Amino acid sequence: MKMVKDYINLLPREEKKAADPGGTMKVLLIIFVLAWGGLFGWQGKLAWDLQEHMTTIAWQKYELLQQLEAMYKELGIPAPTGTGRQKSALIYTLLGERVLWSEVFKQFSRTVPKGLWFDNLEGSTTGHAAIKIKGGAYNYLSVAEFMLAMEKSNFFERPQLLYAQKSVVQGQDVIGFEITCGIKKGGEVR
């Protein structure tokens, strides 16, 4: 059985439709989806145009490289070989095998204890990078501290004491020493 309130409508039809908030939300949602779709489509078109432009530039580059190679042949100049990546890899390899002597001296400045000095430094980079150090100290403890600092360093490899000999110079005891050690090429320096 229907209640009286179910079939009695006191509001006019026009006012009843205007009070419906769901219809307005649907229209706004449709406008938003259309705007978003249009924006996405526009971005897609721009990406497609950019891809076509990049393809055109790649072909132009290829044609220019062909012309450059023909010019090299015509002028009798040997053309450089290898790609850019191969050249970069070669340069990186050569730099990795190089010893930066400024870094070696910087490491020495951090590891040399007080009362120790160098008389002669001789470096070699053929094959395995190594350095030979001849110097002096006022006591054996300074030589031992220097060796320990070199062992702890991330820069020097396997320091070896060839000799440490006590002598008297101008009335003072002096320890003469000789150390050899390897140097890490391209190694990480602390």
Instruction: Please write the tens of the pLDDT for every residue from 40-55.
Output: 899 989 988 998 898 8
190 pLDDT higher than 70: no
pLDDT value of position 89: 67
Paired tokens of 68: 């450059």
Q: Name the more confident of 22 and 149.
A: 149
Q: Residue 174: which pLDDT band, with cuts at 50, 70 and 90?
A: very high
Lowest-confidence pick of 16-30, 34-48, 138-152, 158-172: 16-30
Query: d(Cα 47, Cα 53) in Å, to the nearest integer?
Result: 10
Half-sphere exposure of 115 (CA within 13 A, CB side): 13
Strand partners, 137: 116, 175
By CB atoms closer than 10 A (0-12, 13-18, 19+), residue 133 is: buried
pTM for the model: 0.47
Helix then strand then coil, in percent of the chain rounded to 5, is: 55, 25, 25
CATH match of 99-183 with 3.30.70.2830: yes
Domain boundaries, the chain: 11-76, 99-183
By CB atoms closer than 10 A (0-12, 13-18, 19+), residue 156 is: buried
3-state secondary structure of 66: helix
**Mind listing the pLDDT tens digit for each residue in 116-132?**
999 998 888 777 788 99
Q: How far is CA 26 from CA 2, 13, 14, in A?
A: 32, 21, 19
Give mean pLDDT, residues 64-86.
75
35 pLDDT higher than 90: yes
Q: CB–CB of 115/142 below 8 Å? A: yes
Q: CB–CB of 122/135 below 8 Å? A: no
